[in-house]
Amino acid sequence: MTERPSILAPLLPTSKRNHRLDFWRGLCLIDMVVVHLVQYGMRFGALGHEFFADYTRFAAGGYVLISGMTVGFVFLPRAIDPNRRADAYTSLLRRAACILIIHYAVTVLEILIILPLHGDPLPPMAGIIRSMLLFRQGYELLPFYVFMLAVSPLVLELIRRRLTWVVAIVSAGLFAWGSYGENYKRFCFEITHTFFFVLWQAMFVIGLFAGTHLRAYSRLSIRAKLLTAAGCWAMSVVLFFAAYGDHFNLLLPTPLTFWKNPLTFGEMLRYLGLIGIVVTTTDLLWKWIDLTPIASLVNRLGRRSLAMYIAQIYLVGQIDRLGDYANWPWGTQPIFMALAVVLLWCIAYALDWFSYWRTLARLPQPASQTGRIPLPSQPV
């Protein structure tokens, strides 16, 4: 007889992934949900609005940087290996094509389903197709991610050939050029309103560089990691008072500006400081965090980060409407934050369970000598 898999099977941990990357991506997604709820108008009070929407906001920069870090961490070792190099580059290009298709599908879904639900008329089908193909409608982060994944094989090849300095100079040069006047508006799609390629590519490239050194960082002594974490905290404190010190009559004068749109050098440094705190501090505490229920929840979100990003686009708006309908005092609004995160986790769990059963269905049917079919590990 075959052994019936436990319903907890997709909850079991796996040792085949670096769970820290999943955890960091998951934290970025949770912060993204919170920031979007604030931007949708959910009432958190004046202090709550400033705290969530400004002081601790790191989701946009964190999501882009951790995505780059994942590419560097996972694919550079494969690029160095001659036997796996071609497969690594092909996998990146295939991933870019897959996300492009997902972008088109999400755009069509929005046009054909969401617009009628809001009572808006549908445009002609020819217009829908043209708008979709020319990136005139949709969400801009996915096309940005497609572009960065498509150029990642070239970046990794240059790093493999010890030409990292070329990548750094080109990336910094593009950022500097895009920061001058309105050059950042060039080489972008009509839907691009925030993630301008020439600016945000720097965050992805910095993350990719960090990912290529993540294994070396993991081997550092505790003292070195403590000093790195302390440096990130100090950097963030200085940049906090440079950006928001006037809120407390403690403004620290600097020539930096802190704009997310368009991304400025000061805001990029602020992102790097906050993400540095998240990465270095949780890494120091990882042996206590790793197997906790909270880490399991966050890891699951990070492991399904693409699906969670798409899901939260639609989910956050509905949670905000629910909050408006309930009309509870602003102090109870964190309940709706928790509800949004729990619902995302449920979607991620359903996806893991579906993947688990699909893997199980592909196993050979004859039983082993013990009379049982070996079960697959949790999907990675």
In a domain, 249, yes or no: no
CA dihedral (317, 319, 320, 324) in degrees, to 10, reads: 140
* Whether residue 180 sits in one domain with residue 68: yes
**Does residue 151 fall inside a structural domain?**
yes
Chosen domain end from 158, 174, 198: 198
Q: At what angle do helices 125-133 and 85-109 cross, to 10 degrees?
A: 150
pLDDT for the residue numbered 374: 54
Q: Are residues 300 and 173 in the same domain?
A: no
Predicted confidence band of residue 232 (pLDDT cuts 50, 70, 90): very high
> What confidence tens digit (pLDDT) does each residue in 137-163 have?
778 889 999 999 999 999 999 999 999
Rounded CA gap, 39 and 53, in Å?
Answer: 8
Residue 308 lies in a domain: yes
Q: Is 216 part of a structural domain of the chain? A: no
CB atoms within 10 A of CB 85: 17
pLDDT over threshold 50, residue 268 = yes
Domain stop point among 140, 166, 198:
198
The model's pLDDT over 33-84, given as tens digits with 9 standing for 90+, comes to 988 888 777 766 666 777 877 888 899 999 999 999 999 999 999 999 999 9
Residue 1's pLDDT band, with cuts at 50, 70 and 90, is very low
Q: Is 24 exposed, middle or buried (0-12, 13-18, 19+ CB in 10 A)?
A: buried
Residue 229, in any domain of the structure: no
The percent of residues above 90 in pLDDT, for the chain, comes to: 52
**Residue 184 shares a structural domain with residue 311:** no
Angle between helices 334-361 and 19-40 (to 10 degrees): 140
- Domain end position, chosen among 176, 198, 220: 198
pLDDT of residue 46: 65
> Does residue 173 share a domain with residue 94?
yes
As for how many domains the chain has, the answer is 2
Fill in the DSSP letter of residue 81: S
Whether 120 is in a domain gets the answer: yes
Same domain (yes/no): 16, 102: no
- Considering only CA atoms, which of 278, 299, 292 is closest in space to residue 344? 299
Reported as a single tens digit per residue, the pLDDT across 100-137 is: 999 888 888 777 776 676 667 777 777 777 777 888 77
For residue 93, tell me if it sits in a domain. yes
Are 25 and 68 in a shared domain? no
- Structural contact between residues 323 and 276, judged by C-beta atoms closer than 8 angstroms: no
Q: What is the structure's pLDDT at 118?
A: 66
Q: Which domain holds residue 183?
A: 63-198
* Whole-structure pTM value: 0.86
